[in-house]
């Protein structure tokens, strides 16, 4: 029987997951991928029972995946049964206040990124900027300077050719450098391989509520450096988030109140998207149940869901055994607590099938009911495994020791993680997010743009009789159905998109899932462009009061410096021509150091954006000069023909010549690479009136959605967390 895969799912699998030969040609089918993964993960049964029926377990795991009932995280799909064998997505590494610790961690992070994982760090133990360094009689450069080093290193390391590294950088609200940290990403050229979050404490919230000051504490000696207004710092945090969506926040005391192994230490950091708090050197294995497949005949099929939860816990526990960990200490630490994170995707699709609007109390009730059921069944499955395989090694001294719980295989069993690409494979909505768009534009390889409609909407539209030619194209212009008069109101209610839903409902749904989730919940609270700073403030405080472990917000268009169109007008490739160059343009010239000498790059813009690039290298003549001139002319032609700046950068970045060099701590590989760096810096800043292209997918030109702490393209599967 053929797999129920959409065209988008097949494209994502082919591009990112299927095993390829040396030429990049896939050498396995999607069916063979799932067989490879199931066969590999089933082998772990033999570690506990030499007579285990591996074929039976393999068939069980294969059914989970081929029915699209459950999918593991991307590293498991990519690497299970292959030589790399690194199957975990989430890692946290410690950073102590010493050069030795910082650079040892940097080395470990590079190894993890190379293996396909993402890393989280707390920089809160590093002494503040300008603090004394006794060993050299100098002064400290502070946490931000070291974050920049980690950022450059991450940019350099490619993850096995399939994934680029992502980081989470966390600083406590009571660190003396907190103001500099909060505003670090106001400049969008900095820390592009980091998500950043502020660790907010209960004492800070109390000071905020009381309108009082609080202490900033030097982590080197535990002494108070100064007292500052909690209101002032919170306003700064809100302003930064309103402007760019960062930093996010984690409620660190909420997290540690639910720390299952406090005897092993306090949790200080999370993975890159914030949903997985971990101890130093811990990893976590993640997977998600497709809730859209748990509905039969208009009702939730709890019998099927219970079986899927049980089999998924078995699968994830096996992954811990099969995993080829990137560092021995990570293997030891991970197997001591055996944390798994079973989550969900397709919640919005489930609500649509039940004809329940996302933004209503019935949806909140269903969220809590479903997650409570999953948590209970996951606990039972973990206990059953513990009876056969033993409790997780840290269990006897854990807080469970004084409770009625006697058997627990995994310190944690549930997490709501991002599902950007695996939800495309599963043909459903991301995580617990609302619909991104009822219709969107998919860009195909021949340059055409094809509008795609949500299959449930199309089915209802035809059944209810309001489908008409051109309807899909009309919806694709904005992605929303709310302004289309021919669509009945009850349909509009159940097909509300993320930007149709008020922030309070986003946070209510997140809180409902968090109540029954061991770890945390990855979700983005979407705001309209006209939202105020006070609106953001209310959501942050509401998230704290409702027991969330963190919150990420995104105000429509804020990070993109442009108003995004969810639908994009198709353009006839045969009619593309460069717009005329105006008589006057404005621009800047930047000097770049290359291995061949100083390169002067001039970038000019007209009222429509960047329109031309000139480059010249000192006194160089001959071939080098002519090739540089040709590069500039072709870039200019592309820009005036409507080619996105990110697409130009993508073609130039990383081109190498025999003489690379360094500038400002970053390697310049060639003249084309130098030009790409100039363009990237300009598109990531407020350069004249030129819009940034951050809202455009660099792979296909589709629209980027801000979901689950990540940037996700629903058209081609591109994702970037960090």
Question: What does the alpha-carbon distance between residue 233 and residue 239 come to, in Å, rounded to a whole number?
Answer: 10
565 pLDDT higher than 60? no
Res 427: pLDDT:
94
Smallest CA-to-CA distance from 114 within 74, 72, 154 is with 154
501 pLDDT higher than 90? yes
Q: Are residues 682 and 690 in contact, defined by beta-carbon separation less than 8 angstroms?
A: yes
At residue 225, the 3 state secondary structure works out as strand
Read off the pLDDT of each residue in 19-25 and give the average, rounded to a whole number.
90
Which of the following is catalytic: 58, 90, 273, 671?
A: 273
Q: Is 155 a catalytic residue?
A: no
Bond into 595 cis (ω within 30): no
Which of the following is catalytic: 246, 268, 275, 708?
A: 275
Burial degree of 136 (CB within 10 A; 0-12, 13-18, 19+): exposed
35 pLDDT higher than 50? yes
Q: Is 273 a catalytic residue?
A: yes
Alpha carbon 533 to chain centroid, angstroms = 24
Question: What does the alpha-carbon distance between residue 318 and residue 268 come to, in Å, rounded to a whole number?
Answer: 27
Q: Is 271 a catalytic residue?
A: yes
Question: What does the alpha-carbon distance between residue 456 and residue 669 come to, in Å, rounded to a whole number?
Answer: 49
Question: What does the alpha-carbon distance between residue 708 and residue 715 come to, in Å, rounded to a whole number?
Answer: 17
Res 184: pLDDT:
94
Q: Are strands 597-606 and 586-594 parallel, antiparallel or unpaired?
A: antiparallel
pLDDT band (50, 70, 90) for residue 721: low
Q: Are residues 611 and 581 in contact, defined by beta-carbon separation less than 8 angstroms?
A: yes
Q: Are strands 167-172 and 194-200 parallel, antiparallel or unpaired?
A: parallel
Which of the following is catalytic: 271, 290, 323, 391?
A: 271
Tell me the pLDDT tens digit for each residue of 239-276. Answer: 999 998 999 999 999 999 999 999 999 999 999 999 99
Res 708: pLDDT:
75
* CA dist list (Å): 385 to 37, 40, 338, 380, 414: 21, 19, 12, 9, 16
Q: What is the dihedral of CA 164, 165, 166, 169, to 10 degrees?
A: -150
Q: Which fold has domain 575-683?
A: Enolase-like; domain 1 (3.30.390)
Res 400: pLDDT:
56
Res 620: pLDDT:
53
Q: Are strands 167-172 and 224-229 parallel, antiparallel or unpaired?
A: unpaired
Residue where the block lists tokens 């039940």: 354
Burial degree of 699 (CB within 10 A; 0-12, 13-18, 19+): middle
Read off the pLDDT of each residue in 308-321 and give the average, rounded to a whole number.
98
Res 590: pLDDT:
85
Point out the least confidently predicted range of 94-108, 199-213, 632-646, 674-688.
Answer: 674-688
Residue where the block lists tokens 């060099």: 661
Res 665: pLDDT:
74
Question: What does the alpha-carbon distance between residue 711 and residue 121 come to, in Å, rounded to a whole number?
Answer: 21
Question: What does the alpha-carbon distance between residue 677 and residue 643 come to, in Å, rounded to a whole number?
Answer: 17
Tell me the pLDDT tens digit for each residue of 347-406. Answer: 999 999 999 999 999 999 999 999 999 999 999 999 999 999 999 999 965 555 555 678
Alpha carbon 511 to chain centroid, angstroms = 20
Point out the least confidently predicted range of 147-161, 180-194, 645-659.
Answer: 147-161
Res 1: pLDDT:
60
Residue where the block lists tokens 């497709």: 290
Question: What does the alpha-carbon distance between residue 699 and residue 715 come to, in Å, rounded to a whole number?
Answer: 10
Average pLDDT of the chain to the nearest whole number: 88
Point out the least confidently predicted range of 88-92, 401-405, 460-464, 594-598.
Answer: 401-405
Tell me the pLDDT tens digit for each residue of 513-534. Answer: 999 999 999 999 999 889 999 9
Res 158: pLDDT:
57
Rounded to 5 degrees, φ, ψ at 568 are: -130, 135
> Per residue in 17-49, is it b (16+ CB within 10 Å) or e — as a string?
bbeeeeeeebeeebeebbbbbbbbbbbbbeeee
Res 48: pLDDT:
95
494 pLDDT higher than 80? yes
Smallest CA-to-CA distance from 418 within 428, 432, 437 is with 432
Tell me the pLDDT tens digit for each residue of 530-564. Answer: 999 999 999 999 999 999 999 999 998 776 543 23
DSSP 530-558: T--HHHHHHHHHHHHHTT-SEEEEEETTT
50 pLDDT higher than 50? yes
What is the CATH code for 38-424+501-559? 3.20.70.20
Domain boundaries, the chain: 38-424+501-559, 437-494, 575-683
Read off the pLDDT of each residue in 462-471 and give the average, rounded to a whole number.
94
Within 219-341, residue ranges assigned H as helices are 230-244, 252-257, 302-322, 328-337
Res 687: pLDDT:
38
Rounded to 5 degrees, φ, ψ at 507 are: -75, -30
* Tokens encoding 90: 């989430």
For a pLDDT cut of 90, what percent of the chain falls above it? 64
Task: Provide the whole-model pTM.
Answer: 0.82
Stronger pLDDT, 672 or 665, i.e. the higher one: 672
């Amino acid at each position: 029987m053929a797999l129920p895969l959409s065209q988008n799912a097949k494209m994502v699998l082919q591009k990112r997951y299927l095993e390829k030969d040396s030429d990049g040609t896939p050498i396995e089918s999607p069916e063979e991928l799932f067989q490879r993964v199931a066969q590999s993960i089933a082998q772990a049964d033999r570690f506990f029972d030499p007579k285990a029926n591996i074929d039976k377990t393999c068939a069980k795991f294969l059914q989970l995946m081929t029915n699209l009932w459950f999918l593991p995280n991307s590293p498991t799909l990519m690497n299970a049964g292959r030589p790399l064998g690194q199957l975990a997505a989430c890692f946290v590494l410690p950073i102590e206040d010493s050069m030795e610790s910082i650079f040892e961690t940097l080395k470990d992070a590079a190894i993890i990124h190379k293996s396909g994982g993402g890393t989280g760090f707390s920089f809160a133990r590093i002494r503040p900027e300008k603090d004394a360094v006794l060993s050299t009689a100098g002064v400290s450069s502070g946490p931000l300077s070291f974050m920049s080093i980690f950022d450059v290193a991450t940019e350099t390391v490619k993850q096995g050719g399939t994934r680029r590294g992502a980081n989470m950088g966390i600083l406590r609200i009571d660190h003396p450098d907190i103001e500099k940290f909060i505003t670090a990403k106001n400049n969008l050229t900095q820390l592009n391989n980091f998500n950043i979050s502020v660790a907010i404490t209960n004492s800070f919230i109390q000071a905020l509520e009381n309108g009082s000051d609080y202490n900033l504490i030097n982590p080197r000696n535990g002494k108070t450096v100064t007292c500052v207004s909690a209101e002032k710092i919170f306003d700064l945090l809100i302003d930064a988030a309103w402007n760019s969506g960062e930093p996010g926040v984690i409620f660190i005391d909420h997290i540690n109140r639910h720390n299952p192994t406090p005897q092993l230490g306090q949790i200080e950091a999370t993975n890159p998207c914030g949903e997985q708090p971990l101890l130093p050197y811990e990893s976590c294995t993640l997977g998600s149940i497709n809730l859209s497949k748990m509905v039969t005949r208009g009702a939730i099929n709890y019998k099927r869901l219970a079986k899927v939860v049980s089999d998924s816990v078995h699968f994830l526990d096996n992954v811990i055994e099969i995993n080829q960990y990137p560092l021995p200490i990570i293997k030891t630490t991970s197997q001591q607590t055996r944390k798994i994170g079973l989550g969900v995707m397709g919640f919005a699709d489930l609500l649509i099938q039940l004809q329940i609007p996302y933004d209503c109390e019935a949806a909140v009730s269903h969220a809590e009911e479903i997650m409570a059921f999953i948590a209970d069944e996951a606990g039972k499955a973990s206990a059953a495994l513990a009876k056969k395989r033993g409790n997780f090694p840290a269990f006897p001294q854990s807080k469970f020791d004084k409770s009625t719980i006697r058997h627990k295989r995994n310190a944690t069993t549930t997490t709501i993680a991002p599902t950007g690409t695996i939800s495309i494979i599963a043909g459903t909505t991301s995580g617990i997010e609302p619909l991104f768009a009822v219709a969107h534009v998919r860009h195909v390889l021949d340059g055409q743009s094809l509008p795609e409609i949500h299959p449930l909407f199309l089915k209802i539209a035809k059944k209810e009789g309001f489908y008409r030619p051109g309807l899909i194209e009309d919806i694709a212009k904005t992605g929303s159905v709310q302004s289309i008069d021919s669509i009945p109101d009850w349909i509009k209610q159940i097909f509300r998109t993320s930007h149709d839903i008020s922030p309070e409902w986003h946070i209510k749904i997140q809180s409902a899932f968090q109540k029954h989730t061991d770890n945390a919940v990855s979700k983005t609270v979407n705001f309209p462009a006209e939202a105020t700073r006070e609106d953001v403030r209310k959501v942050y405080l509401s998230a704290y009061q409702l027991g969330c472990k963190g919150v990420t917000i995104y105000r429509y268009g804020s990070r993109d410096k442009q108003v995004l169109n969810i639908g994009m007008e198709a353009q006839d490739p045969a009619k593309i021509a460069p717009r005329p160059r105006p008589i006057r343009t404005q621009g800047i010239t930047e000097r770049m150091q290359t291995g061949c000498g100083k390169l002067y790059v001039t970038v000019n813009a007209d009222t429509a954006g960047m329109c031309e690039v000139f480059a010249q290298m000192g006194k160089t003549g001959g071939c080098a000069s002519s090739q540089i001139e040709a590069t500039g002319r072709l870039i200019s032609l592309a820009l005036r023909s409507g080619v996105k700046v990110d697409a130009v950068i993508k073609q130039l970045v990383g081109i190498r010549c025999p003489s690379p060099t360094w500038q400002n701590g970053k390697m310049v590989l060639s003249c084309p690479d130098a030009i790409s760096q100039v363009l990237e810096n300009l598109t990531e800043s407020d350069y004249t009136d030129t819009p940034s292209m951050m809202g455009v997918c660099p792979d296909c030109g589709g629209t980027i959605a801000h979901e689950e702490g990540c940037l996700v393209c629903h058209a081609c599967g591109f994702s970037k967390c960090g």
